[in-house]
Structure 1
Amino acid sequence: MNDLLRILSILFLVSSGINAKAEDFNIINYGAVGDSITLNSNAIQKAIDQCFDSGGGKVIVPSGKFITGTIILKDNVTLHLDQGAELIGSLDLKDYKNIDPFTEGLGIDVGWALVVAVDARNIAVEGEGTIDGRGKAIKEKQIQTDTRSEGKRWGDRPFLLRIVRCSGVSVSGVSLKFAGAWTSHYSQSTHIQIRDLKINSVGVAHNDGIGIDGCQHVRIENCDVVSGDDALVFKTTWSKMACKDIQVTGMRLKSNQAGIKMGTESMANFEDISISDCYIYDTKNGGIKLLTVDGAHLRNVEISEITMDNVRTPILFRLGSRLSVFRKGQDIQQPTGTLENVVIRNVKAKASAEAQLKPPSGILITGVPGHDIINLTLEDIEISLAGGGTLEDARHPVAEAIDKYPEVKTFGPTIPAYGVWARHVNGLKLTNIRFTLDSNDLRPAIVCEDGKHVTLDGLELPGTTGNEEIIRFENVDGATVKSVDTKANSLTMLRVEGEGSDNIALKKNTDWKVQHAQTCGKRVPQEAVKFITK
């Protein structure tokens, strides 16, 4: 015990000595001028380098408008922005560096950044100040000489904050504004804390808010994000490092794309991730989207206590086989991955009437042939929708799009169910699901195609009129439907089609205004469906 105490005392003294040596390095003392004119990249970098050489401390950005190109954080350096301090991105792309280039999901070479750290330890960005990338102004200057299409030239514009292969990262308090590309990108890094950020990054394409790319042991809380692209997005652009052990809570998310998204780039796994207590609003391309299309295993993910308002298509799940490689020469193509053991619970959503899908639908779930989405649980979900679907819409075919970019529009323009459309699933559980409609919709509430072990328990459905069926199963083997509460005046409660359909139980425990409890298609024997009245 005495030896242990001696060791602890030594460690404490060493730690105290380090803290005692830590200093503040004001960028003014290194020649920086906050006049919104002078380029300060070299002066700020000198302060960072001196802080690093001295063993660490804080680099202080005082009140003022400091123009800068790329600055590189180093071990044990905290970049502290005082109230009124602004780091403002240079409009000249020659002032930026790309010290770890890679290719993103659309095939564009990217990686330039305003504030960047690569292979650093114990770094922080903090304070009450602002980092402003002036993305729109950079683009306006860029297009004067760059005649390529926007889809190709955007990759030369800088991210606002980029963290690569770092450990011990804290980003707190600051405001991040108007990036030239992605707003903040954390890649292949561990032990990250992100809290109390204010992000307002719109004006050019690809303004993702917070991007977590193959990172582990991450905590994100109490951030307010308004972004031109996905607000909170998880990626794995490299097959060697998973997104793992991530907890997110207390977020406000507004986006021109998705509120919460996983897997646009998806080579390594997404696992042990929990997201809770978030408000998602005014999104134009999805509320929650969980995707794996490049070989990743997406598993053990729980999303709960989510409120959505005015979102286009509240929820999308996609397991696909695009199988892209993003770091050419450093990685190899992966086989098709898995999407399994995901739980979404306690979600209340108001879907936008103006959506990518016409008419709007609530939840899309699809694997690909031979690769099912496994053990997906949705419980205590309430979604209000515009309605307006026709009988023709109810039979609209949906492309498999096996190797395509994973988006809602990939499966549009029309989905044959207004509530839940599911295809290639095994172990799907829908419990306590409620839909409301602003107008009549002649599509089924639920359509499941190529399903196994499907459970519907506790559905509250609106009183539609004229539907051919309320629920439709096509090639579903093993299913239970019970506790369906609806005043819909329709031909059939459950229609079963496809020669692969079998072992289906329908239990009645409320009054239905339907002519037939169940109807079997031509290739389905009557004994495939058991009707239970007690």
Structure 2
Amino acid sequence: MNTFVFSRKPVANLLIAVLLCLGIHASAKDINISSRGAVGDGQTLNTKIIQQAIDECSQSGGGKVIIPAGKFLSGTVVLKNNVTLHLEENAVLLGSTDVNDYTNPDPFTDGLGIDVGWALLAAVDASNVTIEGKGTINGQGSALKAKQIETDTRSESLRWGRRPFLVRIVRCNGVKVTGVNLQFAAAWTSHYFQCKNVKIEDVKILSHGVAHNDGIDIDGCQNVQIARCDIQSGDDALCFKTTSSTMACRDITVTDMRLKSGHGAIKMGTESMAPFENIKISRCYIYDTNNGGIKLLTVDGAHLRNVDISDITMENVKTPMLFRLGSRLSVFRKGKDTQQLTGTLTNVTVRNVKANSSKVTQLSPPSGILITGVPGHYITGLTLENIEIRLAGGGTAENARQAVPEAIDKYPEVKTFGPTIPAYGIWARHVKGLTLKNVVFHLDTNDVRPAFICEDGQDITLQDWKLPETTGGESIIRLENVEGANISGVNAKGQATSFVKVEGEKSKNIKQGKNIEPSK
């Protein structure tokens, strides 16, 4: 008879592993901060109690730290591995108004050269962190500023950096922020730096009252999904940055957003050292925005490429679009990065955009779209398709010959190129492979500036344009030092001295197909 002998060691090891897993699961816990003595009266400082609850929860294997109904005052608290901060309905995590109650988990310098990074709620080098619930995180930004300036005598441009961000998530993997209300930050509202696998959904942001109230800042993050958020911000609403050269903003999808901004609604840059690539943004409603609707800016060495933006509606937006490749070449991580060479802006598509520009804008008179590289560095492969924009009009013959500064190393902003742009519709400079298809402009009043100007361009395509009837202009289209252009399907009724005016000794290979030209 055969005798079978089983080794006990593998069985024992398996049993130990199972027991360990069960033990970890059993030890995971949910902690209501009230059970640890937190007081939700809006005046008692609960920082230590909340932090101890987070630490205990993480050390026991993870779980939820619950903020119940009430106003729980706090300074900086830091989320740890496997912890969910759950804010119940009518719960408020309330930021202290004393800047000394905050710490800086990851210092850096912003695009204006200011040292920043303090925060109310942070997570650093953690995995599986979540912020959820129907409650609110409120930074009391205006009250904090009012108290700060009683003792901080520096200029406002310097002292604002000491104010805390509302939420800062730094180098984390597995981040979820869902359902919560983020309100009245003292600086940026939410900043995600070099994180992977991030999901931000159904978040409502109401943050204005002090300077630099960005809504969502995605800074060198990868595998990010953002959906159904409602942002009303004093500064940029949805902003992509790369304040470090070591990690790109990559593989990002954004859908179904409502955006109201004191500056830019959808923005890439200004901080722009590592690439922005493989980013898709769609189905966004932008309204009451005091600067740009879509602003894609790379000025510190970043390669901005493979970006697709579609199905965007804008209402009461000052300047619908700005595309800028520049050579500011700033460095934001002191001692950790070095200055880079000028980057690239290539393979970008923006389509299905309908915009109503504000009647009064930072440009006078208003213009629709600005596109500019710098000498020797061209924006390449930019496609704008199915674009419809309404503008106030009012441009004069003098405006039509306005020179636009290069501003090679300056902060990239619409007003940097103002106060006047010589085209009412699209002005482009230092571009290659620019494709503009199915473009429609409307004007409330006559504008004698050209609808389109290109300076220093190659391989320019204008196809199927519908332009308002204007009178008194020198030309409808002006090309200066353009090598290769194909203009077809342009409907330009009205009166102008010429339809296409070609200038510059480098201009050649300008082709016109079937167009409806204005009378002379």
Normalised by the shorter chain, which TM-score bucket? over 0.9
Could you give the per-residue CA deviations for residues 116-139 of structure 1, whole angstroms, max 9, x where no partner exists?
A: 001000000000000000000000
Match of 1:78 in 2: 84
Match of 1:275 in 2: 281
Cα separation, 1, equivalents of 2:472 and 2:178: 55
Are positions 1:124 and 2:111 aligned together? no
Match of 2:295 in 1: 289
Could you give the per-residue CA deviations for residues 245-292 of structure 1, whole angstroms, max 9, x where no partner exists?
A: 000000000010010000110000000000000000011011000000
Could you give the per-residue CA deviations for residues 420-453 of structure 1, whole angstroms, max 9, x where no partner exists?
A: 0000000000000000000000100000000000
Cα separation, 2, equivalents of 1:284 and 1:83: 33
Match of 1:423 in 2: 429
Choose which of 500, 514, 519 in structure 2 pairs with 1:514.
Answer: 519
Cα separation, 2, equivalents of 1:426 and 1:123: 44
Counterpart of 2:319 in 1: which secondary structure? Answer: coil
Taking a change above 3 Å as real, the CA distance of residues 139 and 16 of structure 1, as seen in their structure-2 partners, is same
Contact persistence 2:476–2:492 (CA under 8 A) = no
Which consecutive unaligned segments of at least 5 residues does structure 1 have? Answer: 1-5, 516-534
Counterpart of 1:155 in 2: which secondary structure? Answer: helix
Are positions 1:409 and 2:415 aligned together? yes
Cα separation, 1, equivalents of 2:22 and 2:283: 38
Alignment of 1:371-390 (within 5 A): 371-390=377-396
Contact persistence 2:25–2:61 (CA under 8 A) = no
Match of 1:33 in 2: 39
Are positions 1:432 and 2:421 aligned together? no
Match of 2:265 in 1: 259
Are positions 1:367 and 2:363 aligned together? no
Match of 1:503 in 2: 509
Cα separation, 2, equivalents of 1:36 and 1:306: 40
Letter in 2 for 1:77: V
Taking a change above 3 Å as real, the CA distance of residues 22 and 330 of structure 1, as seen in their structure-2 partners, is same
Cα separation, 1, equivalents of 2:289 and 2:509: 40
Alpha-carbon deviation of 1:14? 7.9
Could you give the per-residue CA deviations for residues 278-316 of structure 1, whole angstroms, max 9, x where no partner exists?
A: 000011011000000000000000000000000010000
Cα separation, 2, equivalents of 1:116 and 1:208: 16
Letter in 2 for 1:513: P
Choose which of 309, 313, 322 in structure 1 pairs with 2:319.
Answer: 313
Alpha-carbon deviation of 1:509? 3.9
Which consecutive unaligned segments of at least 5 residues does structure 2 have? Answer: 1-10
Counterpart of 1:390 in 2: which secondary structure? Answer: coil
Alpha-carbon deviation of 1:11? 10
Are positions 1:235 and 2:241 aligned together? yes
Match of 1:100 in 2: 106
Choose which of 36, 48, 61 in structure 2 pairs with 1:55.
Answer: 61
Counterpart of 2:519 in 1: which secondary structure? Answer: strand
Cα separation, 2, equivalents of 1:252 and 1:51: 35
Q: Relative to structure 2, which stretch is displaced further, 79-88 or 14-23?
A: 14-23
Match of 1:529 in 2: none
Aligned-residue RMSD, C-alpha: 1.7
Identity within the alignment, %? 67
Cα separation, 1, equivalents of 2:19 and 2:286: 47
Letter in 2 for 1:487: K
Match of 1:226 in 2: 232
Choose which of 400, 405, 408 in structure 2 pairs with 1:399.
Answer: 405
Q: TM-score, normalised by structure 2?
A: 0.96
Are positions 1:143 and 2:145 aligned together? no
Cα separation, 1, equivalents of 2:22 and 2:436: 55
Alpha-carbon deviation of 1:417? 0.1
Alpha-carbon deviation of 1:19? 4.8
Cα separation, 2, equivalents of 1:219 and 1:237: 20
Alpha-carbon deviation of 1:56? 0.3
Alpha-carbon deviation of 1:18? 5.0
Alpha-carbon deviation of 1:99? 1.8
Match of 1:45 in 2: 51
Could you give the per-residue CA deviations for residues 185-204 of structure 1, whole angstroms, max 9, x where no partner exists?
A: 00011100000001000000
Cα separation, 2, equivalents of 1:252 and 1:357: 25
Counterpart of 2:505 in 1: which secondary structure? Answer: coil
Are positions 1:332 and 2:338 aligned together? yes
Taking a change above 3 Å as real, the CA distance of residues 19 and 381 of structure 1, as seen in their structure-2 partners, is farther
Taking a change above 3 Å as real, the CA distance of residues 15 and 241 of structure 1, as seen in their structure-2 partners, is farther
Taking a change above 3 Å as real, the CA distance of residues 51 and 402 of structure 1, as seen in their structure-2 partners, is same
Letter in 2 for 1:154: W
Contact persistence 2:81–2:126 (CA under 8 A) = yes
Are positions 1:350 and 2:350 aligned together? no
Contact persistence 2:264–2:294 (CA under 8 A) = yes
Cα separation, 2, equivalents of 1:15 and 1:227: 44
Q: Relative to structure 2, which stretch is displaced further, 424-433 or 88-97?
A: 88-97
Alpha-carbon deviation of 1:322? 0.2
Letter in 1 for 2:330: S
What is the aligned length? 509
Cα separation, 1, equivalents of 2:370 and 2:390: 15
Letter in 2 for 1:143: I
Cα separation, 1, equivalents of 2:326 and 2:165: 28
Choose which of 466, 471, 476 in structure 2 pairs with 1:465.
Answer: 471
Alpha-carbon deviation of 1:508? 2.5
Cα separation, 2, equivalents of 1:378 and 1:366: 14
Alpha-carbon deviation of 1:236? 0.3
Alpha-carbon deviation of 1:31? 1.6
Taking a change above 3 Å as real, the CA distance of residues 450 and 259 of structure 1, as seen in their structure-2 partners, is same
Match of 1:174 in 2: 180
Could you give the per-residue CA deviations for residues 458-517 of structure 1, whole angstroms, max 9, x where no partner exists?
A: 11000001111000000000110000012121111100000000011011243x3323xx
Cα separation, 1, equivalents of 2:192 and 2:15: 35
Match of 1:453 in 2: 459
Are positions 1:441 and 2:447 aligned together? yes
Taking a change above 3 Å as real, the CA distance of residues 67 and 318 of structure 1, as seen in their structure-2 partners, is same
Match of 2:5 in 1: none
Alpha-carbon deviation of 1:215? 0.3
Cα separation, 2, equivalents of 1:16 and 1:193: 28
